[in-house]
Amino acid sequence: MDKPKFVYVSYINSTPEKVFNALLDPEMTRKYWFNHHNASDWKVGSRWEHRIFDEPATVHVVGKVIESNPPNRLVVTWARPKDEGNDQKSSRVTYDVEPFGQSVKLTVTHDEFGDDTEMFESVSFGWPVVLSGLKTLLETGEILAAPSESSCGEELKAAQAK
């Protein structure tokens, strides 16, 4: 078993239901996830897509739902659209949402990168920005990231150019 590459933990003053919803709700994700949203019916085995909010044809990440247990756990695979179905180019993201006192502990684990170092580099830049934006949005209602500032696609291009 490979060890995880990244483990991110954020404590958020909110409820598990609100945190879980914020991972899936398009109007929420566009505010902290570089104007993207995650589209799926979130049933185990279903496909999901990470798309630009107002350009749904532009898909930057695709995958399958492996486990869904609202509001505590969501596990999905993660790949570029061109690598869909290629296990060597597909990684895995696990979201764990647990009550912690009066707040919520959100743990995001990204693992099983295989030999995909480009994806590894690009997400290591993106996750902290996305997750601290999520925390600020839920705690204050403020939008941290400038929507046009960046996108997953640009990060991928930058990583590939290296």
Partner 1 sequence: MADTDKVFKALADGSRRRLLDKLHADNGQTLGELCADLNMSRQAVTKHLLLLEEANLVVTVWRGREKLHYINPMPISEIFDRWVGKYERNRVRALADLKKALEEKDDG
Binding site for partner 1 (CB under 8 A): 1, 3-11, 107, 109, 128-129, 131-133, 135-136, 143-146, 149-150
Q: Are 39 and 65 in contact (CB under 8 A)?
A: no
Is 44 or 143 the residue whose CB approaches partner 1 more closely? 143
Q: How far is the CB of 75 from partner 1 (least distance, A)?
A: 15
Tokens of 92: 């895995």
Q: How far is the CB of 43 from partner 1 (least distance, A)?
A: 28
Instruction: State the Cα angle at 37 between 32 and 43, rounded to 5°.
Output: 125
Q: Which of 153, 157, 135 is nearest to 144 (CA)?
A: 135
Q: How far is the CB of 131 from partner 1 (least distance, A)?
A: 6
Q: How far is the CB of 109 from partner 1 (least distance, A)?
A: 8
Is 50 or 135 the residue whose CB approaches partner 1 more closely? 135
**Hey, how many other C-beta atoms are within 10 angstroms of the C-beta on 161?**
7
Is 76 or 106 the residue whose CB approaches partner 1 more closely? 106
* CA quadruple 133, 137, 143, 144: dihedral sign: negative
